[in-house]
A = this chain, B = another copy of it.
Amino acid sequence: MSNVLAIDIGGSRFRVGLFNQEGRRLALLEGDTLRSGGREWMLKEVQERCRVLMEKAAAPVKACGVSFGGPVDFLHQRVRSVHSPGWEDFELAHWVEETFSLPCQVDNDGNCGALGEYRFGAGRGSESIVYVTLSTGIGGGVILGGKIYRGKDSLAGEFGHMPMSDSGVLCSCGARGCLEAFCSGDSMSKRAQELAGRRPEGGGRMAELSGSAERISARAVYEAAAEGDLAAVQIVSEAARWLARALCFVIRVLDPDKIILGGGVTAAGNMFLLPVQGFLTEFRSSSSIGYSTEVELAELAQYSPLYGAAALALDLA
């Protein structure tokens, strides 16, 4: 018997877990990411928690996997993130190997989430899955024939930056009309804040749930929509329609067994999933080109990337 360590470094939360050989989670420690803390702060937090879990482990810890919430150069096992202070070109796997004397593999959170759901979640038993994560931003990963498919530049599954429309707002990436600017959690909360600012009677319930119009969160939009608030339902519906269109593109390209929606949106449950499935039915109204790809919510919710990191570790152990 042996255990593995899994680390998930995300933009808003970080997590460290201990897993057994079957991928069962034995222990979990998590915390809020202090963005201003940069790399040094994050590594210190992670290191402390890893030590705790390793001391706790009843079986020898044999390997470590890391999910990083930003671009990763998988071939060189280096972070490529240019937005987070101190992370650019950082050899994260090497740091783990030096610090804990464990073999380590690092991948981005989209790929890790896909692998986690494939091995231990909603994708079990499938041949090919596409994982789309909708949280603050939008990312994803592609599993074909049981393996992460990375593509030429390790950019396969970058669903957030599909150029959906010329009329969209400017995305953080610099392009216009990206999917992320239409249906990420961030874009939904912005849309609600705008609406509530312009027309208080429309955004009232969402503002109430969030404390003020300026602080409406995506979660408040979902909650208000679940109560039947019309403005919130409209925002959710528009986001679901853009996502359904993008998923239809994915189906036309890959025709996967399953598309699994993960990340923060899983908290909304059927409130988001049902309209997405409905719009997808509309887009594929063609009778001659049907398909049977199913769209489901991630079973592991916000923990899909952590389980994927555990799978990376198990493959090394």
Contact = CB atoms under 8 A, between A and B. Distances in A.
A152 B256 contact: yes
Contact of A155 (B82, B150, B289): B289
Contacts of A252: 155, 157-159, 161-162
A34 interface: no
Interface stretch (A1-9, A93-101, A280-288): A280-288
A129 to B, nearest CB: 10
A41 interface: no
Interface in A131-159: 142, 144, 149-159
B162 A249 contact: yes
Given A151-B128, A291-B152, A161 B286 contact: yes
A253 B257 contact: no
B287 A157 contact: no
Contacts of A12: none
Given A291-B152, A292-B152, A253 B159 contact: yes
A228 interface: no
Contacts of A245: 163
Interface residues of A, number: 51
A291 B155 contact: yes
Nearest to A253: B253
Interface string A160-173: 01110000000101
A292 B257 contact: no
A42 interface: no
Interface in A282-305: 283-293
Interface in A93-136: 127-128, 130
A222 to B, nearest CB: 25
A174 B161 CA distance: 28
24 contacts: A128-B152, A142-B253, A144-B144, A149-B254, A151-B255, A152-B255, A152-B256, A152-B257, A154-B255, A155-B255, A155-B291, A156-B253, A156-B254, A157-B252, A157-B253, A158-B255, A161-B252, A162-B248, A162-B252, A163-B248, A173-B287, A174-B288, A175-B285, A249-B253
